[in-house]
Structure 1
Amino acid sequence: MFYLRLVLRNVFRARLRAGLTILGLVIAILAFGLLQTVVRAWYAGTDMSSAARLFTRNSISLTFSMPLYYRERIAAVPGVKSVGVSNWFGGIWREPQNFFAQFATDIPLLAKQYPEFRFDPTQYADLMRDRQGAAIGRELADLYGFKLGDRVTLKGTIYPGNWEFNVRAIYDGRDATAITRQMYFHYDYLNEALKQTAPARANQIGVFIVEIADPTAGAEVAKAIDDGFRSSLAETLTESEKAFQLGFIAMVEAIVIAIRAVSYVVILIIMAVAANTMAMTARERIAEYATLKALGFGPGTVAALVMAEALLLALIGAGIAMALLGPVAAGFHAATVRVFAKFPVVAETYWMQAGCGLAVGLVAGALPAWHSARVRIVDGLRRIG
């Protein structure tokens, strides 16, 4: 108890310096946690990936399509349970900044292939009956105020023209990892319109969604599918859903790496600031350390007191930053809700913040503690101030 009281009195002896150092620590460790959460938000879409779903696309690029009749050939591959289609629509609702994902898909297979989506049976039946029907995710509905029965007009970009849809179903997620920021509608509605306006673009598919019977056999089934289209006009690349999602993240990987790097640079900077603070403190107290030694305290005890001050200072800053991370992240998400569907603050981030606080304390206190332990009593007592 004596040592704890001594450390507490020493830490806050220079209150302005201690307060500013703690403030710097709070800002740095809070920024670290927020940046780490931003990085995790980029990967949030992979959390709902299923090992039972494979994605088959053109081996050249997603911008190249495949013939619709590939579906029957893929369905004949052993281990395949069902094959759905998916075309990225890319329409604009009212204003260009109102971006959200829209997919022309096999509505009859949607609930089966995506069990993480929860549909009301009555709404799903209405969706099945209406060729212009659309399913809207709960998060998307809350974001833009969509309601059942709404008439939604999208201005086509990839598929020119104005496209009319009726909101027939609003689906929820099975758990917190499910992203419900998408709109799904009937592929047949899109395809039949293309047959009238652009026949060359009809019966073309961007991605086949392949449901497999055994999730552990994904690699074998994927190879069998791709082998079936070797030397064809449109060779395929089949991969797991997670690999497919990570392919999109790879397009902005440099940004993600830069954000992660900046988060660690912030910690390195505050390490230098805290180390400078502790070095100044140690220089001012050389006479005190010499006095402690003269009273019988060993070098190890003196060094431990200095190290304890640095650790306490750092952990106070880290604790405040950890307490603030949740509210700050919630505010940040509210401001960027159109960018990040999920902005999860996980336990791992808090542990990383605590680790940063501990590392800053150890680094900041190491050198001053070593110097304090080496102070000679005679030399220390000669110091004035």
Structure 2
Amino acid sequence: MQRRNVMRAAVAGAGSVALGFTMTRPSFAYPALPGPSPYGALQASDARGIRLPAGFTSRIVARSSQTVAGTSYTWHGAPDGGACFADGDGWIYVSNSEVSSGGGAGALRFDAGGTVVDAYRILDGTRTNCAGGATPWDTWLSCEEVDRGYVYETDPHGEDAAVRRDAMGRFKHEAAAADADHGVLYLTEDVSDGAFYRFRPTTWGDLATGTLEVLTETGGALAWAAVPDPDGSPTATRNQVANAKRFNGGEGCHYTDGICFFTTKGDNKVWAYDADANTLATVYDDNVSGAPLTGVDNITGANGSGDLYVAEDGGDMEICIITPDDVVAPFLRVTGQSASEITGPAFNPAGDRLYFSSQRGTSGSSSGGITYEVTGPFRGA
């Protein structure tokens, strides 16, 4: 038996679920193991200190504390979670600011050729805005990573005022992912004994009211239970429901084709919740020889190929790819910035440009963040 099949059998025997899908869905049969990247080996560092596969190039599109070229907007400190939205012939990249005072989020507007034509603020007066998620109705959910933090719904175009969504619960929010197939939004919680939540709006597309639920496990069976008091006081939301399933430091969250992929940094795992089958699987665990991915954090996906891209908080300052045929490998590496972390990976609508930030850049300070763009022959673009 090949080593990968041995590993799969071991994981299935430990209680995880190995999932098989048709070609219209990601065909992961977990766990992913180290192997050669479909893009080949990383090349030498470019002029910006980025190691990329052959055929890919990088550029800097914004720097914290500096005015974005061609605009009057000063790019925010500690850029974190991000997403892209279509904007006519161009697109918008939004980015949170994970600073404790001021927080909020900003945006970069690109024209059809990829030139930055505007930059502006879309959220102010919040705290430690870490990750979040895009909605199908083209808003950005910015999440506060503080005790009893809120979710704010923002307009990437900067036209409508941000709205605090109290019904989505008060806890140490990390990321959100919208599941239009089942009419829910998944939420991660960044504490060592955190929970995994879903929010079911009363009306899909309107987050003003709805039910916050937490994933539970009893005798190996998964279920969802309503959180009695989403306000989280005096009892934290994760402690209000018996048998709430615990996750060690919930981080990034990405939904596609029936599967919600999310990460936990405390144990360096990538998980897959199958919403149709109501099952949970371990996509990746760094407890394998030669594992390239550690400090798992933000996660996104390439729609055309089914590839997942996972950013590292620490580790080797890499974004790693996890392919549908269960290979995990470095896609890029940021050099000379060991006191930083990679945040906010997101593809433009065409899928041929990847955005991300080095949160603290070369200085190791939140005022030194750098936001990059990588262009090249991405699979499926």
Name the TM-score, length of structure 2 as normaliser: 0.22
Instruction: Specify which structure has the higher proportion of helix.
Output: 1
What TM-score do you get using the length of structure 1 for normalisation? 0.21
Higher strand share: 2
Q: Highest CA radius of gyration, 1 or 2?
A: 1
Task: For CA contacts below 8 A with separation 6 or more, give which structure has more relative contact order.
Answer: 1
